[in-house]
Amino acid sequence: MKSFNIIRLNLYAPLIYRKDNNLMPFEMSADSEERLFCFTISPDHCQSIEPDDGRYLGDLLFSGTSVPGSSPEECELSSGTYLFVQIKNILNRNDVIRTAVETQKYGLGEELDLKSRFYLRYLFEEGKPITQFFRPYIAA
């Protein structure tokens, strides 16, 4: 997998999605709409510098799509501070976990107070697939 940059992002406005519990994480195609997934990170691994990749992700809390609809339920990527990574490709599950773990290691090395959630966002820019990672932390 290629290298990537991790940046600190201040998201000033939430990203709102229509809730859709039928979406499958780690699956995306050229005709897919923008998607957001929120996972817990296993309590045993969310603050570890060497977490077990196989047990890193916990439950999928919600998923949503940017497609407008009449669904009364919404989900969001809240405004706040995040470690952020963007990769110009759609990653498989293993690469997603590896990237999330590397992002966590960076955050712990910077002595950030990382929260135990992880957001995965898929979108297309100029017809090309993008995978984005958001790991919330508490700003000091």
Each residue's pLDDT tens digit, 76-88: 999 999 999 999 9
- Sketch the domain layout of the chain as residue ranges: 7-138
Give the model's pLDDT for residue 24.
85
For 49, what's the count of Cα atoms within 13 Å in the CB-facing half-sphere?
A: 6
Q: 3-class DSSP state for residue 49?
A: coil
Q: Is the pLDDT of residue 6 over 80?
A: yes
- Spatial separation of the C-alpha atoms in residues 34 and 68, rounded to whole Å: 11
Give the model's pLDDT for residue 15.
92
Q: Is CATH 3.20.80.10 the right assignment for the domain spanning 7-138?
A: yes
pLDDT tens figures, 55-110: 888 899 999 988 666 567 889 999 999 999 999 988 888 999 999 999 999 999 99
Q: Read off the pLDDT of each residue in 33-54 and give the average, rounded to a whole number.
A: 88
How confident is residue 28, by pLDDT bands cut at 50, 70 and 90?
confident
Direct distance between the N- and C-terminal alpha carbons of the chain, in angstroms, rounded to an integer: 32
Give the model's pLDDT for residue 99.
93
Q: Is 127 left (phi over 0), alpha (psi -120 to 50) or beta?
A: left
- Spatial separation of the C-alpha atoms in residues 36 and 16, rounded to whole Å: 9
